[in-house]
Amino acid sequence: MSYDPAMCALTVIALEQRRMHRENEYEARKARLCRDVSGLAEVYSGLMACAGRITKAVIEGDEAGIDRARAEAHALNRRKLDLLHNAGLGTSELSNAPLCGKCGDSGFVGAAPCVCFDEEYKRQQSRELTAMMKGGLHDFRDFDLGLYSDEEDEALGISPRENMRNNLYILKEYAASFAPGQRGLALIGDTGLGKTFLSGCIAGEVSARGYSVAYESAYVIFSLLEDQKFGRGGDEDKTKRFFECDLLILDDLGCEMPGAFAAAALYNLVNTRLLNRRPAIINTNLTLAELRTRYSPQVYSRIAGEYDVVFLFGQDVRPMLKDKRGNL
């Protein structure tokens, strides 16, 4: 699994906020109990004094002083437990144990990310993907084959519904078996046939399994790359993730302004990810022939040869979906 630097930063912040929240709750609980349980405040004052004496004794090398202070602290802790017991309270009332016993809420065990770090990383990534995907992350279970016509296309010998049923099987299998190094996908078809929805379903499943996923439109990716190349304040962390994440979803390819830079940027992105065995999902309204004409034979060759192409056809289902939701 590769980690996105931006997501790592958000994860570290979230874990620190969680640790501070735990500390604040503990301090508030301790202040309340010191106010309500007679003698408890004096115990804590004594413990703080013991800690100071232990530190001083360690610096001075006074082993006898260390032993005396530790013995006093032990007696004070026993006194604290007795006070809590007499007040009908358990020891957990003044526990400040970390939420994660493996890393002490630091997020790392040595130099390696802890399990709690990976779990929070997934939450942060899911939150970002939900914000970036049109309408949020999706689920294959919500995909409605009934929106597609079951009338057979004479030229293709298959109906849009049957074609989509086959595609749905392919995409579900892709999400379930995803691993870095597998082939990319090119979802090709007219507007409103479900490309973004289906790639969002894959994004959700792949992200939930712990892989890093980046979703963005071709327009935004090429704009960020162009800003970075020409020194217009482009953020390297934002562009680096498009090359280094486990799975990139490049949406709406062909809707950006055409030009030499877009063609060169697409080739560099596709080729670099192929060389590093990092798959991508490309959603486009363009045909394979139009990809060759708009970008380059090299781009066409890599997508046609190195990606599994999934063709979608039929009528735009968005109006039907809107009507269906309106009648619920």
Please, is 21 exposed, middle or buried when counting C-beta atoms within 10 Å of its C-beta (0-12, 13-18, 19+)? exposed
In this predicted structure, the answer to whether residue 322 has a pLDDT above a threshold of 90 is no
Architecture per CATH, 133-326: 3-Layer(aba) Sandwich (3.40)
Instruction: Give me the helices (H) in the chain, please.
Output: 5-36, 40-60, 63-86, 115-132, 160-176, 195-208, 218-229, 236-244, 260-275, 288-294, 297-306, 318-326
Per-residue model confidence as pLDDT tens digits over 183-217: 999 999 998 899 989 998 999 899 888 888 888 89
Residues of the chain with pLDDT > 70, as a percent, come to 92
pLDDT score at 237: 65
Domain boundaries, the chain: 5-112, 133-326
Residues of the chain with pLDDT > 90, as a percent, come to 46
Per-residue model confidence as pLDDT tens digits over 221-279: 999 898 888 776 656 667 888 998 899 999 999 988 888 999 999 999 999 999 999 99
- What is the average pLDDT across 280-295? 94
Per-residue model confidence as pLDDT tens digits over 96-131: 888 888 898 889 998 888 989 988 888 887 777 776
In this predicted structure, the answer to whether residue 142 has a pLDDT above a threshold of 90 is no
pLDDT score at 328: 36
Higher pLDDT, 142 or 272: 272
Read off the pLDDT band of 327 (50, 70, 90): very low
Question: 84 with 77: CB under 8 angstroms?
Answer: no
Helix axes 260-275, 218-229, angle to 10 degrees: 100
pLDDT score at 134: 56
**170-174, 207-211, 271-275, 317-321: which range is least confident on average?**
317-321
CA gap 247, 241 in Å, rounded: 10
Nearest Cα neighbor of 56 from 45, 71, 68, 43 is 68
pTM of the predicted model over 0.75: no
